[in-house]
Amino acid sequence: MRQKGISLNIQPADGDEELSDDHVGTSAETPMRADAFDLDDEEKIERIEKHFREIMTILGLDLTDDSLNGTPRRVAKMYVKEVFSGLNPKNRPHPRLFENKYNYDQMLVEKDITFYSHCEHHFVPIYGKAHVAYFSSGKVIGLSKINRIVQYFSKRPQVQERLTVQIGKEMQRVLQTEDIGVVIDANHMCVASRGVGDTNSKTGTAYFSGKFNDENIKREFLNYINSK
């Protein structure tokens, strides 16, 4: 999946399927345990702090040093409150729908939405741009709410394929339309900073449904997001 310049057309699937040679197929839902929210945020922070302090100790770091002493707590708070806050359904955006009073019946595109996520295989960053488009079925949402949907699903351990599908399916649900297009171009630090060490390649994924399966509309969308 991490080939330079490749765009993938990922459609919603009812069952599990293999996504690539090295990505085990899972559903579009993030794998979560039933007891995922039995602990409140402060309890999670305290436990993560304790375990991260142990990791740093095993690595041989001197936690009495002023620069390192607060790191376990900072990491724990970052995990729970920031970079993995999208795991908590309480943080799910609830966009308000508005009537399409202008009777706008053309494609609406929000492009170059910057996002930061984390690879669930190595817990290192994935970052890039998301481009989201839809045709109104009679309702519209505020533009910033599209950004919030992207951010919500980004802020969790992810694989790019699942992230793309989750954004597409959420846009369908919120806007009550099948006419959704999503394209994501991203850099994976698990490729750049470790393993093969390729700093130039990017990964492209796409989700097209409804009108966006029409080749002319798909081309219009792709031409627009690729324009300067």
Q: Return the pLDDT at 190.
A: 80
Domain 41-89 adopts which CATH fold? Answer: GTP Cyclohydrolase I; Chain A, domain 1 (1.10.286)
Given a cut of 60, is residue 8 above it in pLDDT?
Answer: no
Active site (annotated) includes residue 122 = yes
Given a cut of 80, is residue 205 above it in pLDDT?
Answer: yes
**Pairs from 65-72 (Cβ < 8 Å, separation ≥ 24):** 72/48
CATH class of 98-226: alpha beta
State both tokens at 146.
Answer: 């599209």
Q: What is the DSSP string of the chain?
A: ---TT---BPPP-SS----SSSS----SSPP--TTTTSS-HHHHHHHHHHHHHHHHHHTT--TTSHHHHTHHHHHHHIIIIIITGGGSGGG---PPPEE-TT---S-EEEEEEEEEEEETTT--EEEEEEEEEE--SSEE--HHHHHHHHHHHHSSEE-HHHHHHHHHHHHHHHHT-S-EEEEEEEEEHHHHSSTT--SS--EEEEEEEGGGGSHHHHHHHHHHHH--
* pLDDT tens readout for residues 156-176: 999 999 999 999 999 999 999
Active site (annotated) includes residue 178 = no
Mean pLDDT of the chain: 88
How do the domains of the chain map onto residue ranges?
Answer: 41-89, 98-226
Q: What integer is the mean pLDDT of 9-19?
A: 39
Catalytic residue, candidates 49, 110, 119, 158: 119
Catalytic residue, candidates 49, 151, 158, 188: 188
Q: What integer is the mean pLDDT of 115-140?
A: 96
| Separation in Å, CA 134 to CA 139, 184, 209 | 11, 15, 10
Lowest mean pLDDT among 44-58, 137-151, 181-195, 208-222: 181-195
d(CA 206, CA 17): 17
* pLDDT tens readout for residues 84-96: 999 999 999 999 9
Active site (annotated) includes residue 188 = yes
d(CA 206, CA 214): 14
Q: Return the pLDDT at 1.
A: 36
Q: Return the pLDDT at 223.
A: 97
Catalytic residue, candidates 151, 158, 160, 166: 160
Active site (annotated) includes residue 94 = no
Q: Return the pLDDT at 11.
A: 41
